[in-house]
Structure 1
Amino acid sequence: MANYGENGIIDFEKFWILMDKKGLKKQWLIDNGIHRATVYKLVKNENVTCEVICNLCKLLRCQPGQIMEYKEN
């Protein structure tokens, strides 16, 4: 199995743009059940689980493609 990032990354820039448009901050995520360590991973475009993606989509009432994008190295 390839190391994370070797085949590209999932970029969460769209997520942060959507958060900004909605006037939401990182603390809002934490207050709504997203662990601090997970928020840090999102900031760094690190690996998160599908469960996290589902939780974010539920909180923001959006689809995965609205918060993330695959980017090749």
Structure 2
Amino acid sequence: MLICVPLEEAAHAHAPWRQKLSDEDDQQDMTLTNEKVCVEILDQLNEEIKKVRVVIEQIFIKKRGEELTEKL
């Protein structure tokens, strides 16, 4: 059985599915963007942690040096 439907109605009937597919594609694009941003943030945090670690190590070295001086 063949049903004739105006082209506009057919396009309108499929519009929600097309929108859903488009939304899913956009969501995947956002996921990739979010992953890239997260990786960049983690890289920046890693660099900051390295800097803090160096400062803390210097403080420990200074404190140990002061303790050794006091003991002598």
Higher normalized strand content (fraction of residues): 1
| TM-score, structure 1 as length reference | 0.24
Q: Which has the larger radius of gyration?
A: 2
Higher relative contact order, chain-length normalized (CA < 8 Å, sep 6+): 1
Higher normalized helix content (fraction of residues): 2
| TM-score, structure 2 as length reference | 0.25
